[in-house]
Structure 1
């Protein structure tokens, strides 16, 4: 009888190997598109924001109507260009006051003693990244192999609509997790652990048996809806809450909606209550940094009573997310510890129900094999 089980396409050693991480940072990170920020983070001319993409200290800078991205280093004598997390300043190096245009070329060079400015276009350009706006979301890529529109495919329109429905931001969360980034990414597209790892959060809401509706496959993302107990909307107040959340100007998911954008960005929300955007950046082969931003969705035309109903659930939603972060981080660290104890003849196995994990692993291998 033919087995329905499948061997993983990622070798277990890849979660421990520093050499593998170096290859990932060479093959995947520069060519993928990364959701880095929102346009609301840079509302004014000359606003800037520092972000990290793997090992690159990157600056997003609004110059007029354009948002540009560049590595935080001057090509002259290698000073950092900005030292604060965010601020408002011209694109000018603080060391020798070189200024740069929106394409990264020097536009003003003091003390050049008659040397034509054109000579500075060779070897003195900022290390710029490509920027793409998807609604309010800012994506960046160093050396993309395709446009951001093609990279996201049909998901792009959903993201643009979602971004336009965002309201106030809740306090962000940063958590260092002692686990390989691939372990955490795969954990987000496997829901069977909800009953054991999240007994007080997702397990309390999940239908039994678990029902997960996957979107049609896309090349660089995995999307699904985890259906939740219909009883959560029983009672007058809960029914009123469902009616309110259905007015958000994006489709009502009727459950937990999740998108993973390869390699390591996730967007998730329950019933249009609150969007959580999480970015997982590798620190070492055995550790990554999880940076989470959380946003309310805008419900139009709220009455004072309706606003008070929504205000009452915001702290609960925030605490729910924090608990899930801690639970997921803990179990991923347990996997990382287990990998260190794995005997050489234990390759791992995937069950049919873990088909989205298999999709992630196949996606990963395609990127690692790309020439």
Structure 2
């Protein structure tokens, strides 16, 4: 066996060991994308080191694989943990030293410079890793704050309000995003159970602030206004005041699509005022479904392009029926071929025990339709009139420090 063959054998043997040392086991690596992308990023530093060893063993002496060894720790730095970044840097440095010892050039000027270059890259990779880790911690803290603020602004309604069954869901487009502009609220008022589902144009803290304005105005107006049309006008005025406070909101940037509903006490009906929002659907106990389209289309709230009186529409809502209102994150969800999700077509003919089961099945069906690739937030609100003879569910809540139990309907 010649010197070249022996050198190639030593390099090939060390490549496998170095690959295992770099890869190790998953230890909190931060890798982007899907499963295939994560696997590739996890393998890439080891592939660079192994590729560098093979290249150096096969290439002529005047060619060098040092750039590959420099790149390995730098690629590991933003995606891997500190320990894996250290292991990758050490593996790169040892690979260069081993190569130069094997060819007897370790004390020459160029190999020494190559070794110093790889060492510098490894140290720089540790610095980059530390910066990325601190940034991720700050981002995680900001996400927790955003989620807390969103839950404070948009609390989950009770399971039963005014004798009706209620369920609500807020599905963020991204699993780690909590701040959005979708909203819902339910209130038990002297005029019946009133609810609103809306979608503020835009995202971020500005959208959350507008959500807070709308929900606050709705809760006050729902208690005081005799008509659903009056509630809609109060929301319009609240947006106008907010626009003045912000020194004027752009009409095309500050609008909100919303649907308001009212289910009067002792009446098997539901009234709606729709302000440019996706049309709710009414699911009956036998699986029949109605799309509640407004008789007269109206502009979204806050779009001051003219004055039109609000007009409510009324539909029968018998026992066992469920009203489902949603934002366009549901109706505009697309599959891989760009086909929109059609809630009416997907739900027609299906029977659900209650609103909670309806929303659970609906969110699962949307994920199946989109393959988990949603691009917009989604707010869902379902209000059901219990079927005749259906037992009322009661929830027992322990009051800490009182020593007693409180039963809520």
What TM-score, normalized by structure 1, do the two folds share?
Answer: 0.22
Greater helix share, structure number = 2
Larger radius of gyration: 2
For CA contacts below 8 A with separation 6 or more, give which structure has more relative contact order: 1
Greater strand share, structure number = 1
What TM-score, normalized by structure 2, do the two folds share?
Answer: 0.20
